[in-house]
Amino acid sequence: MSPVKKFLLASSLALGLGPLAANEAFSQTMGEGMHGGMHGGGGGAMMHMRGLDLSEAQRDQIFKIRHDSVPAMREQMKQVQKARTDLRQVAMADKFDEARARQAADAQGKALAAMAVMRAQRMNRVRQVLTAEQRSKMDQMREHRGMGPHSRG
């Protein structure tokens, strides 16, 4: 398991989100944004869009949307990591400082929340590139994979 995935799992468990949220966070930040989804390889979100018959222009627009989101997502991940380090330092200190622990935990939660909002915004921007028929087909594919609007994870 990669260090990032371990971190997201630990963070999700610490926030009471469970391992499924960690996997979702990992796939959303790394799998979609940096691996196959952005670079056109075999994985990531672009793989999930294969059945949509995207035009070359649509693929280019979606690539740009995903590519442009990477720096901001990376900055948010740095904030999550900083808060995690701060929280670990508080936990390892000779004397526990609850106020400082809460501050670090709040910072971590806010950074994770900001990443979730950024992913939702990116997803919405991608959906705007699709035709109504493609959006409908995408929704059907997500429902089939258990990732529809009413699923958990």
Chain-centroid distance, C-alpha 92: 29
Q: Are 39 and 62 in contact (CB under 8 A)?
A: no
pLDDT for 143: 84
pLDDT for 27: 46
Measured between alpha carbons, how far is 48 from 97 in angstroms, rounded to an integer? Answer: 45
SS3 per residue for 49-114: CHHHCCCHHHHHHHHHHHHHHHHHHHHHHHHHHHHHHHHHHHHHCCCCCHHHHHHHHHHHHHHHHH
More confident residue, 37 or 27: 27
Measured between alpha carbons, how far is 71 from 68 in angstroms, rounded to an integer? Answer: 7
Domain boundaries, the chain: 3-142
Number of H helices, E strands in the chain: 7, 0
In the numeric block, the tokens 């009471």 are attached to: 16
pLDDT tens digits along 34-66: 333 333 333 455 556 777 889 999 999 999 999
Q: Are 80 and 108 in contact (CB under 8 A)?
A: yes
DSSP state of 32: I
pLDDT tens digits along 85-129: 999 999 999 999 999 999 999 999 999 999 999 999 999 999 999
- Say how many CA atoms lie within 13 Å of 139 toward its Cβ: 11
pLDDT tens digits along 3-19: 556 565 565 555 554 44
